[in-house]
């Protein structure tokens, strides 16, 4: 396998592009175009340097990637649309990484873009009759998991609010984040916001933001400069395993969760352990998922997450900074754009370009992108 | 449950529960004779060992709530019932946990450890005017009423 570098990344501002209340209106193809041009610009590449494209989205309809590319140029290259729910864009990134690593192409562009529906996001993997019974509300599963977590470990509702406080604080320092300079709510304000799926409140759930993200992967030879080179140390995927705890109906079999297996596979592929990570991005659309992520990825012991959060362990200047760009709660979660946005943040952090949210001496970063199914992609970048 | 003379009652999906004329309704699961695994809803092969010689298995119709959440906003698609409504996990004695609607006059009533019983409840009227029925677990004292 060949070494694979990240040549550049690009992001739109994550926002609501619906043209209402003084906000700008943009279609998904404009957002995709903007992210692609930003990534090309960063890498110093021309559009004609791109040999293949993987485009990721969940709600934009058949072959939507081509709408973005039709705004840039038709160069006859293979274009593949990737849909994998909330994990779509890191799935696309993984395919691009593999094709460069095995020598099929030298330069591939991946783009993720989405304009997100309003309201509760449903789970398309649930059969229609169960959806008619209201059983497709993913946030309610998370509401149930809070109760279980508080029964099993030393945690209180304030702990689940504190995740949102930290991610909102980080988002204040990221001009691309949905909640950039939108204040830092207190634990009390978060708990007092309207309840959506008890005990989860509005501010414990990710906002419905739109946006796009892009990245270019290539062989090191193709880079314009190898100064501060960032390479892909691992890009792995796991899916549901009978008896894993996300599928709570299974009583007899106990298997590691899709997150835990994804983490194990990534550490093995990268030849590192959780103690080597300088910065981590986790996929936490609801605050309780943050603790599932950091514990399954072995950043701490089971049940330790809330106490470490109180101590600032996951803060930008903490032992293992998590969600430095604002995370899913502060950046927002434009479904098909989230996975590459996480990779973009790792890339900026490893290159020392994060300004007020920069993690000191960042060398290795891990991004975790999850989707219904369940599925989980874990990507490790290193300097 | 109210039953209109004009309207038929149809199951939200066939093969999900068994309703005897003279007994209590039970969910239809799958039991694998090879590995002993029990799954709901039933599948045509065992999801654990892939054995295809599986048999129907009627689940216990009583259980205990392990967690519940009250949904205060309408789900994105397909659901046409009342809002707010409760959903959660019910653990059937040593069989499995079911992710299920929880029915009560007060959706806030469900707490971990509460004993509940399987009932059928009306979901909505379909385009033919039939009443579509689904299952739910309800507190034992409400089921007696
Ligand atoms: Zn079996």
Q: What is the pLDDT of residues A317-342, one digit of tens each?
A: 999 999 999 999 999 999 999 999 99
- Chain A residues with at least one Cβ partner in B under 8 Å: 117, 119-122, 127-129, 131-137, 139-141, 143-145, 147-148, 151, 194-200, 242-243, 248-253
Q: Would you give the DSSP letter of residue A326?
A: -
User: Is B72 a member of any domain?
Assistant: yes
Same domain, B77 and B136: yes
Question: Which residues make beta-bridge pairs with A230?
Answer: A6
Does residue B4 form part of some domain? no
**Residue B78 placed within a domain:** yes
Cross-chain residue pair B71–A137, CB shorter than 8 Å: yes
Q: Interface pTM (ipTM) of the complex?
A: 0.91
Considering the domain architecture, whether residues B113 and B43 belong to the same structural domain is answered as no
B49 plus B103 within the same structural domain: no
Distance CA(A36)–CA(A9), nearest Å, equals: 8
Under the banding of pLDDT at 50, 70 and 90, the label for residue A120 is: confident
CB contact under 8 A, A143 and B132: no
**pTM for the whole structure:** 0.94
Output the CA B11–ligand 1 centroid distance in Å: 28
* A–B interface: beta-carbon pairs under 8 A: 121
Asked, for residue B8, whether it belongs to a domain, the answer is no
State how far residue A159 is from chain B, nearest Cα, in angstroms.
18
- Whether residues B42 and B95 fall in one domain: no
Q: What whole-number distance in Å separates Cα of residue B50 and Cα of residue B60?
A: 24
Residues B41 and B97 occupy one common structural domain: no
**Domain count of chain B?**
2
The region of weakest confidence among A145-154, A357-366, B9-18 is A145-154
- A249 vs B contacts (CB less than 8 Å): 39-40, 96-99
Taking an 8 Å cut-off on Cβ atoms, the answer to whether B97 and A132 are in contact is no
Whole-angstrom distance, CA of residue B50 vs CA of residue B53: 9
pLDDT band for position A114 (cuts 50, 70, 90) = very high
Residues of B in contact with A141 (CB under 8 A): 69, 99
Domains observed in chain A: 5-119+207-382 (3.40.47.10)
Three-state secondary structure call for residue A230? strand
pLDDT, greater one: A254 or A150: A150
* Nearest-10 crossing angle of helices A138-152, A287-296: 60
Query: Are residues B144 and B119 located together in one domain of the fold?
Result: yes
Residue B116 lies inside a defined structural domain of this protein? yes
pLDDT tens-digit map of B103-128? 999 999 999 999 999 999 999 999 99
Q: pLDDT per residue over A125-153, tens digit each?
A: 788 999 999 998 989 999 999 988 999 99
Is B122 part of any domain?
Answer: yes
Question: Are A198 and B72 an interchain contact pair (Cβ–Cβ within 8 Å)?
Answer: yes
Half-sphere exposure of A310 (CA within 13 A, CB side): 11
Domain that holds residue B94: 61-145
**Cβ–Cβ of B70/A251 closer than 8 Å?**
no
């Amino acid at each position: 396998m060949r070494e694979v570098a990240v040549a550049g990344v690009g992001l739109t501002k994550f926002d609501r592009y619906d043209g209402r209340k003084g906000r700008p209106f943009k279609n998904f193809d404009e957002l995709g175009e903007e992210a692609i041009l930003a990534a090309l610009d960063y890498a110093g590449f021309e559009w004609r340097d791109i040999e293949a494209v993987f485009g990721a989205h969940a709600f934009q309809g058949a072959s939507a990637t081509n709408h973005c590319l039709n705004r840039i140029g038709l160069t006859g290259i293979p274009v593949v649309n990737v849909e994998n729910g909330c994990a779509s864009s890191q799935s696309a990134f993984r395919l691009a990484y593999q094709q460069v690593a095995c020598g099929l192409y030298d330069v591939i562009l991946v783009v993720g873009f989405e304009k997100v529906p309003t309201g509760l996001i449903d789970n398309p993997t649930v059969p229609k009759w169960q959806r008619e019974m209201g059983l497709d509300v993913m946030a309610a599963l998370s509401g149930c998991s809070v109760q279980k977590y508080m029964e099993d470990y030393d945690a209180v509702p304030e702990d689940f609010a504190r995740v949102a406080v930290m991610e909102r604080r980080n988002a204040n320092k990221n001009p691309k984040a949905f909640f950039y300079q939108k204040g830092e709510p207190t634990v009390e304000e978060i708990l007092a916001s309207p309840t959506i799926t008890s005990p989860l409140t509005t501010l414990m759930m990710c906002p419905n933001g739109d946006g796009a993200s892009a990245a270019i992967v290539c062989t090191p030879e193709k880079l314009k400069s190898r100064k501060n080179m960032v390479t892909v140390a691992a890009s792995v995927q796991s899916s549901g395993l009978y008896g894993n705890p996300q599928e709570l109906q299974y009583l007899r079999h106990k298997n590691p969760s899709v997150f835990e297996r994804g983490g194990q596979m990534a550490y093995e592929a990268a030849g590192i352990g959780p103690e080597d990570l300088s910065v981590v991005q986790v996929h936490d659309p609801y605050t309780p998922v943050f603790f599932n992520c950091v514990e399954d990825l072995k950043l701490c012991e089971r049940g330790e997450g809330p106490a470490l959060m109180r101590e600032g362990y996951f803060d930008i200047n903490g032992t293992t900074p998590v969600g430095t760009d604002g995370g899913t709660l502060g950046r927002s979660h434009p479904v098909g754009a989230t996975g590459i946005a996480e990779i973009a943040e790792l890339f900026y952090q490893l290159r020392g370009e994060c300004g007020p949210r920069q993690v000191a001496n960042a060398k290795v970063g891990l991004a975790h992108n999850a989707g219904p199914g369940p599925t989980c992609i874990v990507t490790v970048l290193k300097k | 449950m109210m039953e209109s003379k004009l309207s038929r009652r149809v199951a939200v999906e066939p093969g999900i529960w068994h309703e005897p004329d003279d007994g209590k309704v039970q969910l239809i699961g799958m039991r694998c004779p090879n590995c002993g695994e029990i799954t709901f809803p039933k599948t045509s092969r065992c999801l654990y060992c892939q054995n295809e010689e599986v048999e129907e298995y009627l689940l216990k119709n009583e259980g205990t709530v392990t967690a519940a959440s009250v949904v205060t906003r309408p789900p994105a698609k397909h659901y046409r019932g009342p809002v707010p409504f409760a959903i959660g996990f019910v653990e059937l004695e040593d069989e499995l946990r079911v992710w299920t609607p929880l029915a009560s006059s007060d959706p806030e009533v469900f707490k971990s450890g509460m004993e509940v019983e399987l009932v059928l409840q009306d979901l909505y009227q379909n385009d033919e005017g039939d009443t579509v029925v689904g299952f739910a677990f309800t507190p034992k004292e409400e089921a007696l009423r």
